[in-house]
């Protein structure tokens, strides 16, 4: 059997798991910063830049790493 369906399944599972974890961490992090650090004062401009560019990049990288590791684990089990 080809490894491509396994790779697609691993990447899909990693993408869903990565999205759930990063969504939770981002919401929790921004909530803590809003409550305890910035409050109602203005946020620095870097916070918006990081939210728009940094977090999706980190999420994509984490998803690809987890997907690759899952693929390696699935491929090693299939060869046994």
- pLDDT tens, 53-62? 887 888 788 7
Query: For 36-57, how does the pLDDT look when each residue is reduced to its tens digit (9 = 90+)?
Result: 887 777 878 777 777 788 878 8
| C-beta atoms surrounding 29 within 10 Å | 12
Contacts with 63 (C-beta within 8 Å, 6 or more apart), sequence order: 11, 14, 15, 17, 18, 19
Scanning the chain, the segments in alpha helix (DSSP H) are: 4-32, 45-49, 55-79
pTM of the model: 0.55
User: What mean pLDDT is predicted for residues 71-80?
Assistant: 76
């Amino acid at each position: 059997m080809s490894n491509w369906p396994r790779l697609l399944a691993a990447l899909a599972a990693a993408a869903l798991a990565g999205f759930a974890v990063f969504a939770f961490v981002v919401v929790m992090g921004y909530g803590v910063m809003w409550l305890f650090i910035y409050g109602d004062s203005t946020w620095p401009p870097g916070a918006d830049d990081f939210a728009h560019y940094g977090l999706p990049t980190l999420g994509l990288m984490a998803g690809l790493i987890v997907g690759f590791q899952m693929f390696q684990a699935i491929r090693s089990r299939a060869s046994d």
